[in-house]
């Protein structure tokens, strides 16, 4: 048991760092789409991130993936490079970041389900119970925020949840083979030929007419959300288990709410605080229910 504790703490710290970075994605996207086309924001971020990835891979002389790994990188890219950024950007054009945050709070459940399918992880019943209760609290809050009905943008957000859950699980599996930052770097480079045409078509006609706040939001989602955050996130998932560390994203909606309040001036309601407490309890119960021997220690 003691030999697992440093890995547990490290995977927890890396997971929390990734969650914190991801939590500002929706507020930053909301800023970006004020003056920029949602398709440009959703897909263009990957072009910027891919440029950084190319430099990093070249500088470190990274090993080129095998043919089988390229196929899995393509699947990862479909979820985290294309699916989630595009769908969430389209949704942010019509709903507040605070509303999007609660729907995106279903990501841990999606990630755990894909982890059970792809990585053959088998969390215990208390984990599934705590994750389901936390997800239910988030859904209930979403209905309250939407006056008891789902909005059209919610279906885009639900699609993004499915896409990113798959991308997280598959990317975490690949991280055990080729490394965390290498996984997101190769996935980004693989996506460039597909993304470049729609990005060019949706680019602003006059970049100087775009307000600095929109450019700042685009810069954040490009450099941090689309690239640097994955360094910590994929490493944490591969070390601590997809389900175990992925459950930390139950905290993300409430970090996003705080970010939306600070950055966008959106208000925080009492119901949001109550839901946050419920989710915090679910995270604590879920982590306690997973035995330490589920942790896989990787060296990358």
Residue 55 domain flag: yes
Residue 134 domain flag: yes
What sign does the dihedral 216-268-22-36 (CA atoms) show?
negative
Q: Give the list of residues 6+ apart from residue 9 with CB closer than 8 angstroms, or none.
A: none
Q: Give the list of residues 6+ apart from residue 261 with CB closer than 8 angstroms, or none.
A: 98, 267, 268
Residue 300 domain flag: no
Domain that holds residue 220: 2-294
Report d(CA 140, CA 131) in Å as an integer.
Answer: 14
Tokens of 5: 């504790």
- Alpha helices in the chain, H assignment, sequence order: 5-23, 25-32, 38-60, 67-77, 84-92, 97-104, 107-118, 125-145, 152-178, 180-202, 212-220, 229-240, 242-246, 252-259, 270-289
pLDDT given at position 238: 86
Report d(CA 172, CA 233) in Å as an integer.
Answer: 9
Burial classification of residue 253, based on how many CB atoms lie within 10 Å of its CB (0-12 exposed, 13-18 middle, 19 or more buried): buried
What sign does the dihedral 230-232-234-237 (CA atoms) show?
negative
pLDDT given at position 193: 94
The CA-to-CA distance between both ends of the chain, in Å, stands at 22
Provide the CA 126 distance to its chain's centre, in angstroms.
24
109 touches 131 (CB < 8 A): yes
267 touches 35 (CB < 8 A): no
pLDDT given at position 240: 85
Which residues of the chain fall short of a pLDDT of 70? 1-7, 99, 102, 121, 138-139, 141-150, 272, 276, 280, 283-284, 286-300
Report d(CA 62, CA 200) in Å as an integer.
Answer: 29
pLDDT given at position 142: 63
pLDDT given at position 296: 39
> Using only C-alpha atoms, what is the Rg of the chain?
18
Three-state secondary-structure class, residue 288: helix
Residue 299 domain flag: no
Residue 167 domain flag: yes
123 touches 116 (CB < 8 A): yes
Residue 68 domain flag: yes
Q: What are phi and psi of 298, to 5 degrees?
A: -115, 150
Locus of tokens 């030929």 = 193
Is the pTM for the entire model greater than 0.85? no
88 touches 25 (CB < 8 A): yes
Tokens of 271: 């119901």
pLDDT given at position 286: 65
pLDDT given at position 145: 60
Tokens of 190: 């693989």
Q: What is the tally of structural domains in the chain?
A: 1
pLDDT given at position 300: 35
């Amino acid at each position: 048991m003691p030999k697992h504790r440093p890995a547990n703490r490290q995977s927890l710290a890396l997971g929390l760092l990734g969650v914190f970075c991801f939590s500002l994605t929706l507020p930053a996207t909301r800023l970006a789409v004020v003056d920029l086309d949602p398709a440009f924001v959703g897909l263009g971020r990957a072009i910027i991130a891919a440029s950084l990835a190319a430099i990093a891979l070249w500088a470190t002389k990274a090993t080129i993936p095998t043919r089988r790994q390229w196929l899995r990188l393509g699947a990862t890219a479909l979820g985290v490079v294309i699916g989630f950024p595009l769908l969430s950007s389209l949704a942010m054009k019509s709903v507040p970041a605070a509303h999007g945050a609660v729907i995106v709070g279903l990501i841990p459940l999606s990630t755990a389900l894909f982890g059970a399918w792809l990585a053959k992880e088998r969390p215990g019943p208390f984990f599934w119970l705590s994750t389901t209760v936390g997800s239910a609290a988030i859904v209930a809050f979403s209905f309250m925020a939407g006056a008891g009905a789902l909005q059209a943008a919610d279906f885009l957000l639900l699609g993004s949840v499915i896409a990113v859950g798959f991308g997280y699980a598959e990317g975490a599996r690949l991280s055990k083979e080729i490394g965390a930052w290498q996984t997101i770097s190769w996935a980004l480079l693989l996506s460039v030929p597909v993304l470049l045409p729609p990005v060019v078509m949706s680019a602003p006609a006059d970049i100087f007419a775009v307000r600095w706040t929109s450019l700042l939001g685009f810069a954040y989602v490009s450099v941090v959300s689309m690239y640097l955050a994955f360094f910590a996130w994929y490493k944490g998932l591969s070390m601590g288990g997809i389900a175990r560390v992925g459950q930390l994203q139950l905290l993300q909606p409430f970090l996003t709410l705080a970010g939306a309040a600070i950055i966008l001036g959106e208000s925080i309601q009492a119901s949001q605080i109550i839901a946050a407490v419920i989710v915090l309890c679910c995270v604590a119960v879920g982590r306690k229910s997973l035995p330490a021997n589920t942790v896989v220690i990787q060296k990358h």
